A and B are shown apart, each in its own frame.
Chain A
Amino acid sequence: GAGVSQSPSNKVTEKGKDVELRCDPISGHTALYWYRQSLGQGLEFLIYFQGNSAPDKSGLPSDRFSAERTGGSVSTLTIQRTQQEDSAVYLCASSARQGVSIEQYFGPGTRLTVT
């Protein structure tokens, strides 16, 4: 079946502009995660959704970052007033449910470049 998809695959934006990144999880997956990967670094957790609610937003780096999920499916990560340090690959993952032994499936990511 179809995997996790993300759009756009690449986004170049000017400093100060707002951007929206989209994630389509695997159909039926109730858990959805956003991560960020800066150049040459490991992944940094941002936020987790269970259904449409976000019980864990602890990884969001500032109040310029927000995310929502609608219909238990598509999620949007919004970055307001982008800064150059926001440049990174933003990865979305989904899993069938929460659980210590449940693997996550990752999308290909959105490469964000803030000029």
Chain B
Amino acid sequence: DAKTTQPPSMDCAEGRAANLPCNHSTISGNEYVYWYRQIHSQGPQYIIHGLKNNETNEMASLIITEDRKSSTLILPHATLRDTAVYYCIVRALTSGTYKYIFGTGTRLKVLA
């Protein structure tokens, strides 16, 4: 299975862009990169996903390097409510199931 590596924690000033990196050097050609976040005591919330092109939605942007070995999630104007654990996940087809394999994520703290 492809694995991901993320820094355990990051701080970001409110109103600034938060750039969360993720390494997935063993990703294979048909595996997507997904980002979820988990606010304390809630279930994970879908943010964005991509294959090889950069993606943007109302929540965030996803930048994937050309070799697909790493990606960056960008929250353009972080707010205090963006404080959460952010998970970068490679969607793996394992035993016939498209399951998520979660790591321990990056704990983002947005500072006032």
Binding site for B on A (CB under 8 A): 4, 33, 35, 40-45, 48, 55-56, 58-59, 91, 93, 98-109
Contact = CB atoms under 8 A, between A and B. Distances in A.
Contacts of B93: 100
A98 B46 CA distance: 16
Interface residues on B, range: 20 to 34
List the 7 closest A-B pairs by CB distance, nearest first.
Answer: A106-B43, A42-B102, A43-B102, A56-B97, A103-B46, A45-B99, A48-B97
Contact of A56 (B42, B43, B99): B99
A41 B102 CA distance: 9
Interface of B: 30-32, 34, 36, 41-46, 49, 51, 87, 91, 93-105
A104 B46 CA distance: 7
A106 B87 contact: no
B32 A105 contact: no
A56 B104 contact: no
Nearest to B103: A42
Contact of A48 (B32, B87, B99, B102): B99
Contacts, number: 66
A103 B49 contact: yes
Contacts of A107: 43
B31 A104 contact: no
A100 B98 contact: yes
A1 to B, nearest CB: 15
A43 B100 contact: yes
Nearest to B99: A45
B27 to A, nearest CB: 12
28 contacts: A35-B100, A35-B102, A42-B87, A42-B103, A42-B104, A43-B87, A43-B100, A43-B102, A45-B100, A48-B99, A55-B96, A55-B97, A56-B95, A56-B97, A91-B43, A98-B97, A98-B98, A100-B30, A101-B32, A101-B91, A102-B98, A103-B46, A106-B36, A106-B44, A106-B45, A107-B43, A108-B42, A108-B43
